[in-house]
Amino acid sequence: MQVQYDSSINTEVLKDKKIVVIGYGSQGYAHSNNLKDSGFDVKVALRKGSKTFSKLEHSNLPSAELEEAVKDADLVMLLLPDENQPDVYRQYLEPHLKPGASLGFAHGFNIHFNQIKPREDLNVFMVAPKGPGHTVRSTYTEGSGVPCLVAVHQDVTGDTKELAYAYASAIGGGRAGVIETSFKEETETDLFGEQAVLCGGVTALVQAGFETLTEAGYSPEMAYFECLHELKLIVDLMYEGGINTMRYSISNTAEYGDLTRGNRLITDDTKQAMKSILSEIQSGQFAKEYVDDCRNNYQKLHQLRDSHSKHQIETVGEKLRDMMPWIKKKPLVDQAIN
Ligand code: NAD
Ligand code: MG
Ligand code: MG
Ligand code: MG
Ligand code: MG
Ligand code: MG
């Protein structure tokens, strides 16, 4: 697998392009501001009547309503929640994009699962940062970046791959590394990572640990510090130097406990469960379940979000974090209301 950096990426192909970023949420905020600061011609497109217009007035980013912005765009980056993209594509992009224009995604879901079938005269590419939007912006301003995956689904003008690399570089990805993949590989691995490890796996592990301690009579504050707060310190070490560095840094006692107990939790059964989660992703079963729930007004998502948000680990955590005001950064939503 080849990793490309700014030194080998030519951004010339993006120089004369009118870029339109649709949406000003987590990714939209980061992409548009990074593109602007990298010197490219970028405009943010929003829904008619969107409250975000007033916020953009005070920035140096031009903005316009969707239909209007899209007409003379050379490159449109679609940065809305995945489940809202198909409607917006059908209503605003399909009828108005000029032939030979380029359509970009930050995740392969809609293309891979056939929720959007782009017009054949469009270039279709992906630049997927491997990190949250807010990090894409903060690392850029600090002089670094978030690694990006790029892929091409349709190439009409013959330079779509070059364009994808240039876009990745313009948002800061070329400082950290840009890797070529396919829509299929990005979609399936991204969904698996968030379900089995990063989000689903980690939150379930943290909650179960917290419950085990509190049910055994230990205080919720102790349980919070042990099972949630300290996680960041461990993950930071893994991020810096892999699992080896983390194990080097912890005490021998901790390391012995880690090496002898970890695989009693993550057993062959757990791995079997991971495999079945992966096959639900590959077969499209997960995508169908999710799309159905979106169409059903997110009934399941809202109900689960609501019940999990009331878990004791949240209430005790809120209290403890108030005592550590340095932890709290400015609210993430501050940059993303619409
Ligand atoms: P988001 O949830 O932050 O929302 C984007 C914006 O779209 C919001 O400001 C919202 O008001 C607006 N919006 C919603 N529906 C709309 C509509 N119908 N018309 C116009 N505007 C509408 O989105 P996000 O998390 O930035 O995700 C954007 C894309 O980036 C997705 O494809 C996602 O998979 C991908 N992605 C996200 C992250 C991340 O960190 N959030 C990371 C990698 C890839
Ligand atoms: Mg969200
Ligand atoms: Mg991801
Ligand atoms: Mg994802
Ligand atoms: Mg300890
Ligand atoms: Mg050690």
CATH number at residue 81: 3.40.50.720
- C-alpha span between 111 and 116 (Å, rounded): 6
Among candidate residues 181, 214, 238, the one where a domain is terminated = 181
SS3 of the chain: helix, strand, coil, percent, to 5:
60, 10, 30
What is the predicted pLDDT for the residue at 196? Answer: 98
Asked whether residue 137 is domain-assigned, the answer is: yes
Whether 49 and 73 share a structural domain: yes
* Atom in ligand 1 nearest the alpha carbon of residue 79: 28
Whether 128 and 217 share a structural domain: no
What is the predicted pLDDT for the residue at 326? Answer: 85
Angle between helix 252-265 and 230-249 (nearest 10): 110
Which of 80, 89, 116, 134 should be mutated for ligand 1, with most atoms under 8 A from CB? 80
CA 303 – ligand 2 centroid, Å: 15
Whether 146 and 201 share a structural domain: no
Protein residue with least CA distance to atom 3, ligand 1: 25
Among candidate residues 146, 181, 216, the one where a domain is terminated = 181
Asked whether residue 21 is domain-assigned, the answer is: yes
Catalytic residues: 107
What is the predicted pLDDT for the residue at 328? Answer: 75
State the residue range of the domain holding 70.
3-181
- Sign for the CA dihedral angle at 21, 25, 29, 31 comes to negative
Asked whether residue 27 is domain-assigned, the answer is: yes
Asked whether residue 215 is domain-assigned, the answer is: yes
Q: Which of 189, 199, 191 is nearest to 304 (CA)?
A: 199
Which of 79, 111, 183, 335 should be mutated for ligand 1, with most atoms under 8 A from CB? 79
User: E-strand spans in 40-81?
Assistant: 42-46, 63-65, 75-78
Whether 171 and 25 share a structural domain: yes
Whether 50 and 174 share a structural domain: yes
Among candidate residues 118, 148, 181, the one where a domain is terminated = 181
Q: How many distinct structural domains can be found in the chain? A: 2
Asked whether residue 233 is domain-assigned, the answer is: no
Q: Does ligand 1 have an atom closer than 6 angstroms to the CB of 146?
A: no
Whether 130 and 210 share a structural domain: no
Asked if residue 59 lies in contact with residue 4, where contact means CB atoms within 8 angstroms, the answer is no
CA 233 – ligand 5 centroid, Å: 11
Whether 151 and 291 share a structural domain: no
Asked whether residue 40 is domain-assigned, the answer is: yes
| b/e per residue 79-113 (b: at least 16 CB within 10 A) | bbebbebbebbeebbeebbeeebbbbbbbbbbbbb
Q: Does ligand 1 have an atom closer than 6 angstroms to the CB of 134?
A: no
Asked whether residue 85 is domain-assigned, the answer is: yes
Whether 137 and 161 share a structural domain: yes
Coil, strand, or helix at residue 282?
helix
Ligand nearest to the Cα of 133, by number: 1
Ligand nearest to the Cα of 250, by number: 6
Asked whether residue 75 is domain-assigned, the answer is: yes
Whether 16 and 91 share a structural domain: yes
ipTM of the complex, rounded to two decimals = 0.95
User: Tell me, what amino acid is at 135?
Assistant: T
Whether 208 and 272 share a structural domain: yes
10-residue mean pLDDT profile of the chain (338 residues): values are: 95 97 97 98 96 90 96 97 97 96 98 98 97 96 98 98 98 98 97 97 98 98 97 96 98 98 97 98 98 97 97 96 82 44
What is the predicted pLDDT for the residue at 327? Answer: 83
* Atom in ligand 1 nearest the alpha carbon of residue 336: 9
Whether 195 and 176 share a structural domain: no
Whether 51 and 174 share a structural domain: yes
Coil, strand, or helix at residue 331?
coil
